[in-house]
Amino acid sequence: MTHRVYLRYPNQRVAHKTQTDSREVAALAFRRLVAAHVGEAAAVTWTQDGRNRQYIRLDKHHQQCRLCSYVGPFIDDGECCPACAMVQ
């Protein structure tokens, strides 16, 4: 399986692309991009073998983590803080 994680801007520009066979590496790259780019007019995309696995808009749906006080979009269907990986 090939995982690709990247930051996509509205003009279709892609940045911070990670390509790996490891699901764990892809998950870590995804979490770090979401936490590092909160509020930007962009999205973080994770694909697996060319199919969307997760897509998170960084400028919408902000929540606050009860453990680490991160404020921004959560991952894994809005259940997990990308900064500390705590399920809310």
Residue 61 has pLDDT above 90, yes or no: no
| pLDDT score recorded for residue 33 | 97
Question: In angstroms, rounded to a whole number, what is the distance separating the alpha carbons of residues 74 and 80?
Answer: 5
d(CA 59, CA 54): 16
- Convert the pLDDT of each residue in 6-55 to its tens digit: 999 999 999 999 999 999 999 999 999 999 999 999 999 999 999 999 99
Parallel, antiparallel or unpaired: strands 43-48 and 71-73:
unpaired
pTM comes to 0.90
Buried b (16+ CB within 10 A) or exposed e, 48-84: eeeeebbebebeeeeeebeeeebebbbbeeeebbbbe
